[in-house]
Structure 1
């Protein structure tokens, strides 16, 4: 065995991250990892250079990059592997991914247009599906027929109000492994943004539902980042529970995420309000990533002890990072991974919890 070289098992142990010999062989087949030299006994022999390359592959994969995108990133020559070149390549990858998402979104919208019909539309829906099988969409006349089919479906919207629950039953993935209260929460979040794919990004700690019900039942303080979020809360139900609302960025003229983010940084008095929140409160962050970052830091330093944090700020870099920090704090949380979020979603999450508590005070399904 060559001195300083690693076997495939030693390589995977050195890299870590759940890497297995089978995955290494797969990366060889894909061209992600160069074929290694062989020992006289035909063992694969790896060097420190292979360790570093695999660590990059594992790190990029953990961040959500697909293997074909990782290969393109790693194809940059070492001498040309500057920040500018790498950023340019990542931008190209991002645009390609967004184009694919856009195309898939169009397909999903077409499917939603058929599957998301309530019972009042099912008669015309059956007719459309029958005609769709016979439609020749290869010709211009066929495309015109397709437009007529959609027009027929759309005409039904004038005959009745939309039954959202029936549409969601057909569109939502299987949520039977979640409690009834969680299902209600997720359904309300999907309705608030009109995007079923949100389900995959909604993250709750195991104790989030229990913590929210205990805190709200005791008439806890609700602390929000902006008045826009406060305005979207169900104040009637909160008043019924004895919960009062406190706003950190207490300026009615601040209505956007950009304004909230800048204002929270510039005004010390709003940052100084955070350590003053009551123990056992529910924190709702829907706009400023900096607020959630400050919340996480205050929790880590034991300056505040909220019962629950609903963290859904908007942003492309700070917001995802702040949400990751939130999920590592060891406290009850509800968040939406990545860049998705906003005041409407954050308020909807709290409103759904409040609604289910009042409507089903004796429900204990979430404890299973």
Structure 2
């Protein structure tokens, strides 16, 4: 959508925080490159106002502009004030004026992703009310144990690690640490520029699409959100369930198809469990329907797993796989967490 502009509509406040946060959201969306340009606008107090934001985008030659009110629900602002500013009738959703198409979207609504943010904030607040010294002490002990384990892994794999780039070594260490299986070091295949592609995608705020909730559970989404990215999974989406039933395909394959339809270009796609998801993704890439930044594929099993990873390795997309039938969600999580650590500037160990 390189010819579409996006305007976020906020209320406005005499304090600076509302505008600052809305501008941060706009920056995150701009980095995702889904829209040509992203602007903020306000109803009261703050500038620019809605007409000013629209005019600013229109001057760039953009002929289609989407406005999203950043409110939880419909109310006077969304039902009356904003439509009046846009010159919309209540029953209309699109206005064409001066050759520019204005599309007025819905407020945020009761979205599960917002509920997750609220839950995270609440849990964080509860943690702050507890004994901070004990919490820090617990983290320090955990980090010491992790670093000790990594040191042991490095001793076991010293010959192997000397032969690979440092960033690759971080991934190998994490995988062996997560599985206690040094043999996986020989089966891990990292394509050229895969680490660079993954780290750049994380830093640019790209989303991470996973095949199953087990993979999502293993990733620290709070750290990922620091870069502006989110973890998405469609395995339990009603649309995927219906698609699987209608097309007689697995839910994992249907979920991957849905993810691509929703927009997976530039994302990191992690398949830790399902061979059919890997096969489906490979077919979608071959058809030119999606171009993720990186594919991590580690399905496990004796039926289809090895072949599905071979299918991924034959793509022109950067990839990280585990050859053969071995793998699993824990391996996929370890690979991604290593990339996340590299993006944060780490070397595979944790600060004490």
Tell me the TM-score normalized by structure 1: 0.49
Contact kept in structure 2, 1:249 and 1:264, CA below 8 Å: no
Contact kept in structure 2, 1:227 and 1:251, CA below 8 Å: no
Alpha-carbon distance in structure 2 between the residues aligned to 1:267 and 1:324: 18
Distance 1:271 1:189, change over 3 A: closer
Say which structure is richer in helix: 1
Contact kept in structure 2, 1:282 and 1:307, CA below 8 Å: yes
Choose the corresponding residue for 1:291, options 269, 273, 277. 277
Alpha-carbon distance in structure 2 between the residues aligned to 1:343 and 1:178: 24
Aligned residue for 1:220, secondary structure, equals: coil
2:155: which partner in 1? 170
Contact kept in structure 1, 2:201 and 2:267, CA below 8 Å: yes
Alpha-carbon distance in structure 1 between the residues aligned to 2:325 and 2:213: 21
Choose the corresponding residue for 2:181, options 168, 171, 195. 195
Contact kept in structure 1, 2:218 and 2:330, CA below 8 Å: yes
2:169: which partner in 1? 183
Map 1:13-32 onto structure 2 (within 5 A): none
User: Which structure 1 segments of 5+ residues have no match?
Assistant: 1-159, 253-262, 362-368
Let me know the Cα RMSD of the aligned residues. Answer: 2.5
Q: Structure 1 residue 331 and structure 2 residue 317: aligned? A: yes
Q: CA deviation at 1:360?
A: 4.5
Aligned residue for 2:183, secondary structure, equals: helix
Q: CA deviation at 1:268?
A: 7.9
Q: CA deviation at 1:204?
A: 0.7
Alpha-carbon distance in structure 1 between the residues aligned to 2:198 and 2:264: 15
Larger Rg belongs to: 1
Choose the corresponding residue for 1:280, options 266, 275, 279. 266
Contact kept in structure 2, 1:264 and 1:291, CA below 8 Å: no
2:94: which partner in 1? none
Aligned residue for 1:206, secondary structure, equals: coil
Q: CA deviation at 1:266?
A: 5.3
Distance 1:166 1:292, change over 3 A: same
Distance 1:266 1:359, change over 3 A: closer
Q: CA deviation at 1:184?
A: 0.9
Q: Structure 1 residue 270 and structure 2 residue 241: aligned? A: no
Alpha-carbon distance in structure 1 between the residues aligned to 2:166 and 2:256: 37
Q: CA deviation at 1:214?
A: 1.3
Aligned residue for 1:196, secondary structure, equals: coil
Residues 169-205 of structure 1: per-residue CA shift (max 9 Å, x gap):
3211332232211111100000111011111000010
Q: CA deviation at 1:165?
A: 2.9
Map 1:36-115 onto structure 2 (within 5 A): none
1:229: which partner in 2? 215
Aligned residue for 2:300, secondary structure, equals: coil
Tell me the TM-score normalized by structure 2: 0.51
Q: Structure 1 residue 239 and structure 2 residue 231: aligned? A: no
Distance 1:193 1:251, change over 3 A: farther
Contact kept in structure 2, 1:168 and 1:187, CA below 8 Å: yes
Alpha-carbon distance in structure 2 between the residues aligned to 1:268 and 1:354: 26
Size of the aligned set, in residue pairs, is 193
User: Which structure 2 segments of 5+ residues have no match?
Assistant: 1-143, 239-247, 348-352
